[in-house]
Every structure is written in C-alpha cells, then in structure tokens.
Amino acid sequence: MTDNKAAARNLALMRMKEALIEHVPHARAIGMTVVDVRRGQAWLMVPYDAKLVGNPDTGVIHGGVITTLLDNASGAAVQLALPERQAIATLDLRIDYMKPATPGEDLHCHAHCYKLTRNIAFVRGVAYHKDPADPIATSVGTFMLAANRAEVMPVEIDKILGKEAQ
C-alpha cells in the first residue's frame, strides 16, 4: 500500500472510530476510546481513573463502567456490521461478571456482532485487562435495528383523557 493510501485509510479509520462513540456523552465522560475496528467487531478501552472507582477502600472500578463499556462496544460492533449506519437500541444485555476489575488497570473490551436479521442484531462481548481469555465480564446482547422508524401513534390523547386532564 502506498504512503498516500495508507494515510487516507488511517484518516478514514480515525473518523470512523470517533463517530462510533462521539454521540454518547457518557462514553466521553468516562474517557472511552475506540482502539480498533473491523467488519462487525469493535475493541474499546476505558483508562483507569480514580473517579470511576465504585469502592474507595478497594480501588475497584464500578460495575456500571464495565456495563457501559460492554454496551457501547456491542453497539459499535452492530454499526460496523450494518451496510449503512442507522439508529439502533439495546433490547437486552446480559452481563456475567467473572471477577472484579484490578485497581490501576485499564479496561478493554471486544464485541462481535455475529448475526444480523431484518430487525435484530446479536452480539457477544468480553471485558478484560490484558487478555480476553481472562475476562472480567462477558456479555450477550440483542439490538433493535432502525430504532427510529416507528410511526407516531395515530391516537389523539385529548380524546382518550378528555380536555380536563390537561
């Protein structure tokens, strides 16, 4: 690959990485970054930060941070599996915690969208420190595709509640 093609690919990859989580304020607030992407797969990271600790006595990162990381990585994997970007929504996300995160260690996550149907995407994820074979937590999730295509309910609320309910 020529230097110009490699530079263009790296720029496109950087923009794609940013687009995957830039619209999620909570992801930005905890310092989440996209490490790598492939078709249907995403690797994300949250650096260790004392403000994310759930128990000051142990220094262990709060489980909600791990949940957020797995959910965002899973959503990014879905976006990377789709032929074009569209609104999605988490329908179900099951997380199995295997062990507490190690104080001082960054959190990493890999998610893989392994099945797409017309309306649903299926994803597996793993949160870890250095080795995905030694997980902190694993997840399986389903995501609704085209979450913004629902039609407005053709019901007039005034007719149901009556004018006096306002």
Instruction: Report the chain's mean pLDDT, rounded to a whole number.
Output: 87
pLDDT at 146: 85
Domains of the chain from N-terminus onward: 3-165 (3.10.129.10)
Instruction: Quickly list DSSP for 74-99.
Output: HHHHHHHHSSS---EEEEEEEEEE-S
Residue 109 has pLDDT above 80, yes or no: yes
Determine if the pTM surpasses 0.85: no
The amino acid at 103: P
The counts of H helices and E strands in the chain are: 4, 8
Residue 67 has pLDDT above 70, yes or no: yes
Tell me the per-residue pLDDT of 43-58, one tens digit each, with 9 for 90 and over: 999 999 999 999 999 9
Task: Give the C-alpha distances (Å, rounded to integers) separating 82 from 129, 134, 155.
Answer: 28, 29, 33
